[in-house]
Amino acid sequence: MYVCLCKGITDSDLQRCVDAGARDFTDVQSQLGVSTQCGSCECLASDIVQSRLAERDRASLFYPADLAVA
């Protein structure tokens, strides 16, 4: 689904950015340019980013990044 029509950014784009290591909405905004033109998408985009960050944090509780798989 398109979140930022001005820049053509989708919810999947936002999620991939978080998955690639973005630490917060400001990181995503800097990397993708979401919510930098008219700003009407900021609430939705921020909610999507926060949700994905929370998912990532919950997953790290069960699958630590430094855990080596044998």
Q: Phi/psi of residue 10, each to 5°?
A: -100, 170
Percentage of the chain modeled with pLDDT above 90: 79
Rounded to two decimals, the pTM is: 0.84
Residues sharing a CB contact under 8 Å with residue 18, sequence separation 6 or more, in sequence order: 28, 49, 52, 53, 56
Rounded CA separation 48/57 (Å): 14
Query: May I ask the CATH architecture of the domain 2-62?
Result: Orthogonal Bundle (1.10)
Rounded CA separation 66/49 (Å): 24
- Which segment of 4-13, 44-53, 60-69 scores lowest on mean pLDDT? 60-69
pLDDT band at 66 (very low <50, low <70, confident <90, very high): low
Average pLDDT, integer, range 64-68: 56
- For the chain, give every domain's residue range: 2-62
